[in-house]
Amino acid sequence: MKIGIIGLGSIGQMLVKAFTRSKAASADSLYVYNRTREKAEAFAKDWPFIVCDSVHECAEKVDVLFLCTKPLDILPVVDEIAKDQTVQAHLVSAAAGVSLGDLASRYAGPVSKLIPTVTSQELHGVSLYCCHRSVSAPDREALISLLDHLGKPEEVNESTIETATILTSSAPGLIAGILEQFAQAGTRHTPELSIEQTRRYLVETLLGTATLLQAENLGFDQLIERVATKGGITQEGLEVLGKFLPTAFDEVFAMTTQKHQLLKDMIAQQQKA
């Protein structure tokens, strides 16, 4: 299976690293196009692949093509691919805000949507995907088995993908933001603990927490029960979180939904132009 990637931003780079590390792709089956060729050549020194000269060259060589450009660059790239009607690659757009309908309105071949996550570089994380009806069963299976290399693929429909995006793709950034606040509060409360110490404690604790949850297939409530003695210290902390976090997270979903809508409005403008 030949894999193509358009755009070497953080998601394009993550896919190159994950497909290479997991052996889903080899140096002679991975094709990459980036607007600045030098950046692709420099990256290929550490993570070897074939550097393409154009979007078209990449599209005509591969079976599946991941479009990892900014959302507003996706449709122009699809148009460039669709100009050559002999191209048959399965196009997989990795941009938020661009719908399956948008993609299918510009390209007659198979199209899918992927919401990847930066943690897939370590072969862990959820990859959200949905396939247009134009995607055949074998193309769908081939995509899922590629996504299997990135962690856990989860099929979603377009009515749930935006909320799911916050819980999977945005989440590493949001979790880092939460941990930074936690670390800063720790050092504010006890200045003898440096910010480096409090951050270090939390990173190791995060890793241990995720590993334990997974190893024993624990529910969050079961883990809480294991840590928090009834009437004990952790219980006090949990009560504070229960008071403030529901409003904070409701607001996170409200604001990110607004931003998704703004992006979809801009894509709709592109569709009209």
Q: Which stretch binds ligand A1CAB (CB under 6 A): 19-27, 43-51, 162-170, 208-216?
A: 162-170
Q: How many residues bind ligand A1CAB (CB under 6 A)?
A: 4
The 3-state DSSP class for residue 193 equals coil
Torsions phi, psi of 227, nearest 5? -85, -45
Torsions phi, psi of 3, nearest 5? -115, 135
What are the Cα distances from residue 171, in Å, to 8, 146, 168, 193, 241?
21, 22, 5, 27, 18
Are residues 195 and 187 in contact, defined by beta-carbon separation less than 8 angstroms? yes
Pick one of 93, 127, 169, 198: the residue that binds ligand A1CAB (CB under 6 A).
Answer: 169
Q: Kindly state the smallest distance separating residue 195's Cβ from ligand A1CAB, in Å.
A: 25
Q: Kindly state the smallest distance separating residue 170's Cβ from ligand A1CAB, in Å.
A: 5
Q: Which of residues 24 and 96 has its CB atom nearest to ligand A1CAB in the complex? A: 96
Pick one of 151, 165, 183, 267: the residue that binds ligand A1CAB (CB under 6 A).
Answer: 165
Residue nearest to ligand A1CAB (CB): 169
Q: Which stretch binds ligand A1CAB (CB under 6 A): 19-27, 38-46, 165-173, 223-231?
A: 165-173
- Which run of H or E residues covers position 222? helix 220-227
List % helix, strand, coil for the chain (3-state, nearest 5): 60, 10, 30
Q: Kindly state the smallest distance separating residue 123's Cβ from ligand A1CAB, in Å.
A: 19
Pick one of 75, 77, 89, 96: the residue that binds ligand A1CAB (CB under 6 A).
Answer: 96
Q: Which of residues 170 and 209 has its CB atom nearest to ligand A1CAB in the complex? A: 170
Pick one of 20, 22, 29, 170: the residue that binds ligand A1CAB (CB under 6 A).
Answer: 170
Partners of 154 in the β-ladder: 128
What are the Cα distances from residue 224, in Å, to 149, 167, 171?
31, 20, 21
What CA–CA distance (Å, rounded) separates 121 from 7?
16
Contact footprint for ligand A1CAB (CB under 6 A): 96, 165, 169-170
